[in-house]
Amino acid sequence: MEKIPIFFKCPGCSGTVMVMDSGMCKAPSTGALSVSCSGNEMDLLSEQTADFATEKHVPIVEKVEGGIKVTVGSTAHPMTDEHYIMWIGVQAGDDLMIHYLKPGDAPEAIFPCPDTNVKAYECCNIHDLWVNR
């Protein structure tokens, strides 16, 4: 059975957390997901799939020699200190791979996947979580 990761972001430090097993983060009293950072309740990130304004956030997957390349947006996403992609990830069945980025890097990553039929993720420091499907 394919696991679906869940992502949270701290409103204080903007750090992100990936929860692999959502059953581990349920509050005993309510049964709701609950994750905190330095005393701050973290925000659950919704998977966004359409960026109609400028197409800068939806991950694009293409086959390349040795695997697949994930590029963030059909228009290159900015990679400045103020606005950048923090990480790109792909999920292929039960496998999940993440590549971390920093300002100045190209908004892309190459993963050793044999097939383009993957769920691609990216997390923008301002606009949060985006997926390709």
Is 118:90 a contact under the CB 8 Å cutoff? yes
Mean pLDDT of all residues belonging to the chain: 87
Would you state the structure tokens that stand for residue 82, as one six-digit string?
A: 């103020």
- How far apart CA 122 and CA 112 sit, in angstroms, is 17
CATH 2.60.40.730 domain locations along the chain:
59-131
Average pLDDT over residues 112-132: 93
Q: What is residue 106's predicted lDDT score, i.e. its pLDDT?
A: 97
Task: Tokens 């998977």: give the residue.
Answer: 47
Average pLDDT over residues 30-51: 83
What would the pLDDT profile of 81-91 be if each residue is shown by its tens digit?
A: 999 999 999 99
Domain with residues 59-131, CATH architecture:
Sandwich (2.60)
pLDDT band at 1 (very low <50, low <70, confident <90, very high): very low
What would the pLDDT profile of 85-109 be if each residue is shown by its tens digit?
A: 999 999 998 899 999 999 999 999 9
Is 60:74 a contact under the CB 8 Å cutoff? yes
Closest CA to 51 of 43, 39, 59, 63: 59
